[in-house]
Amino acid sequence: MTHDEHTGGRRFGDLAAEDMDPAQRAVNDRLVEYLHPDRAGTGAVIGGPMAALLRSPDLADGVGRLVPLLFEGLSVPRAATEVAVLLTARHWNCDFEFDTHRRYAARYGLAPDVVEAIAHGVRPQLTGELADTHDFVVRLLRDGDVDDATFATVADRWGHRGAVELITAVGFYTTLALVLNVDRYPAPALPAPETATRG
What does each C-alpha distance from 46 to 4, 20, 25, 81, 138 come to in angstroms? 22, 12, 10, 22, 30
- Cα(63)–Cα(185) distance, rounded to whole angstroms? 18
**In the structure, what pLDDT confidence band is assigned to residue 187 with cuts at 50, 70 and 90?**
confident
- Cα(59)–Cα(77) distance, rounded to whole angstroms? 27
Q: Are 47 and 16 in contact (CB under 8 A)?
A: no
Q: Please tell me the predicted confidence (pLDDT) of residue 189.
A: 58
| Element containing residue 104 per DSSP (H, E) | helix 95-107
pLDDT digits (tens, 9 = 90+) for 128-179: 999 999 999 999 999 999 999 999 999 999 999 999 999 999 999 999 999 9
- Cα(90)–Cα(118) distance, rounded to whole angstroms? 7
pLDDT digits (tens, 9 = 90+) for 48-98: 999 999 999 999 999 999 999 999 999 999 999 999 999 999 999 999 999
Domains and CATH numbers, the chain: 9-65 (no CATH), 72-195 (1.20.1290.10)
Q: Are 146 and 160 in contact (CB under 8 A)?
A: no
Q: Are 76 and 163 in contact (CB under 8 A)?
A: no
pLDDT digits (tens, 9 = 90+) for 37-47: 999 999 999 99
Q: Which of 90, 160, 153 is nearest to 122 (CA)?
A: 90
Residue 191 has pLDDT above 70, yes or no: no
Which region holds residue 93: left if phi is over 0, alpha if psi is between -120 and 50, else beta?
left
